Structure 1
Amino acid sequence: MPEKENQYTLCKEERLYAEKRIEALFAGGSSFIAYPLRVVYITRECNLEDGVPTVSILTSVSKKRFKRAVKRNRVKRLIREAYRLNKNEFIEFAAQSGKSFDIAFLYLKSELPTYSEIEKAVLKTINTLNGKNQLESKSENNS
Structure 2
Amino acid sequence: MAELGKKRQKRTSREVRGPERVRHTLGRADILRGRNNFQLVFKQGRKFEGTYLRCLFLADERLKFRWGARKAVGFTAPGALKRAVDRNRLKRLAREAYRLNKEIILPSMQSSPRPLALIFVYSNKVAHSPRFPTFSEIEQDMKRILQSVAQARLEGDK
| Same-fold status (TM-score > 0.5) | yes
Identify unmatched segments of 5+ residues in structure 2. Answer: 1-12
How far residue 121 of structure 1 moved from its aligned partner, in angstroms, is 1.2
Is the counterpart of residue 26 in structure 1 residue 46 in structure 2? no
Instruction: Please say if residues 57 and 102 of structure 1, whose CA atoms lie closer than 8 Å, have aligned partners that are also in contact.
Output: yes
Instruction: Please say if residues 108 and 154 of structure 2, whose CA atoms lie closer than 8 Å, have aligned partners that are also in contact.
Output: no
Q: Which has the higher strand share?
A: 1
Instruction: Please say if residues 93 and 135 of structure 2, whose CA atoms lie closer than 8 Å, have aligned partners that are also in contact.
Output: yes
Once residues 42 and 8 of structure 1 are traced to their aligned partners in structure 2, the CA distance between those partners, rounded to angstroms, is 23
Once residues 88 and 130 of structure 1 are traced to their aligned partners in structure 2, the CA distance between those partners, rounded to angstroms, is 10
How far residue 114 of structure 1 moved from its aligned partner, in angstroms, is 0.7
Match of 1:69 among 84, 87, 90: 84
List 4+ stretches of structure 1 deviating above 3 A.
96-99, 134-137
Once residues 26 and 103 of structure 2 are traced to their aligned partners in structure 1, the CA distance between those partners, rounded to angstroms, is 11
Q: Which has the higher helix share?
A: 1
Matched pairs, number: 131
Moved more, 69-78 or 8-17: 8-17
What is the TM-score with the length of structure 2 in the denominator? 0.71
Once residues 120 and 55 of structure 1 are traced to their aligned partners in structure 2, the CA distance between those partners, rounded to angstroms, is 22
What is the TM-score with the length of structure 1 in the denominator? 0.78
How far residue 92 of structure 1 moved from its aligned partner, in angstroms, is 2.5
Computing the radius of gyration over CA atoms, which structure comes out larger, 1 or 2? 2
